[in-house]
Amino acid sequence: MYKTLAFLLLLVFLSSNCGLAVTIDTPPAQDIHSGDVPTGATVQGVPSAKIPDSTIEMFIRNGENSRFELFFLDVKYGYDLVDFESYSAWCLEESKPIRRNAIHKVRLYNCYDPDLPPKLKSMEWNQINYVINHKNASKKVTQEVIWHFAGSNKKPLSAEAVELVEEANRNGKDYKPAEGELVGVICLPEENKQAVFLEYKVPQAPVEVASATLEPLMSMFGSSYFFPVIPFFPIPGGDNHHHHQPPPPPPPPVPEPGTLLLLACGMAGMAGILAYRKIRKHYR
């Protein structure tokens, strides 16, 4: 019954244009600027990464599933790359050496950075990124294919490498890594040593909680719709967390032991007087 009464009151408020209604207009669409795009998202299809713009130290060694493994020593905080985390890496210049199990000072670049040095910018990064995201060969063959697309291979390709090159040319010329895929971050040493690049996983963009849609109300009331201000009132018999039950009455006072003793003595004395009067009346 009370639910029906509340529903009828709601309908009355919705159908009236009284001062108790609050008008809510449709909010305008928000402008999105390229600078507001979070790390890991893409601007014009190019994956981004927050990396230091100054020289840092890199430790490099032979890799187990890639040509190299490397980690950094002084990236500090606030970047997508972190210190002492192992990254898979590959060689970009076959003809130049680099010392393993050693620390090198390097400058980091996103492979899609428009300000890449010319020798790095001329490399076919779409195909290289396609290869590291679709590995289906040994690390030796994969390295051959990377050297080919970096323009630094000095030896004829193996038959397996030729097949992988053809696949990357067929499917990867317009390839751009998406969220959760790998993109190349170049590590260019200060000395005249070979450039390498690491596999950086593009992070997933944070998931935003979708707000409740008001389209049903908009279709009923047009571009402006109304929410009635209904005062709160308790519903008898219902769950009402704002309604406080009155406190129970205090228990009756309990006489102290001394009071009880005096009362008992008084009653005994009264009984004795009444008995004495009966006996005395009887013997008159």
User: What does the block give as tokens for 64?
Assistant: 């187990």
Asked whether the beta carbons of 189 and 105 are under 8 A apart, the reply is yes
For 97-149, the pLDDT digits (tens) are 999 999 999 999 999 999 999 999 999 999 999 999 999 999 999 999 999 99
Task: Give the pLDDT confidence score for residue 128 in this predicted structure.
Answer: 98
Task: Give the pLDDT confidence score for residue 173 in this predicted structure.
Answer: 95
Task: Give the pLDDT confidence score for residue 16 in this predicted structure.
Answer: 46
Instruction: Give one DSSP letter per residue of the chain, joined into a string.
Output: -HHHHHHHHHHHHHH---TTEEEEEPPPPPP--GGGPPTT-EETTEE-----SS-EEEEEEE-SSSSEEEEES---SSSSS-BT--EEEEES-TTS---SSEEEEEEEEETT-TT--HHHHTS-HHHHHHHHHS--S-HHHHHHHHHHHHT---SPPPHHHHHHHHHHHHH-TT----TTSEEEEEEEESSS---EEEEEEPPPPPPPPPPPP-HHHHHHHTTEEEEE-PPP---TTS--TTPPPPPPPPPPPPPPHHHHHHHHHHHHHHHHHHHHHHHHHHT-
pLDDT bracket for residue 20 (50, 70, 90): very low
Whether pLDDT at 214 is above 50:
no
Whether pLDDT at 203 is above 60:
yes
pLDDT bracket for residue 48 (50, 70, 90): confident
Higher pLDDT, 238 or 108: 108
The pTM score is 0.58
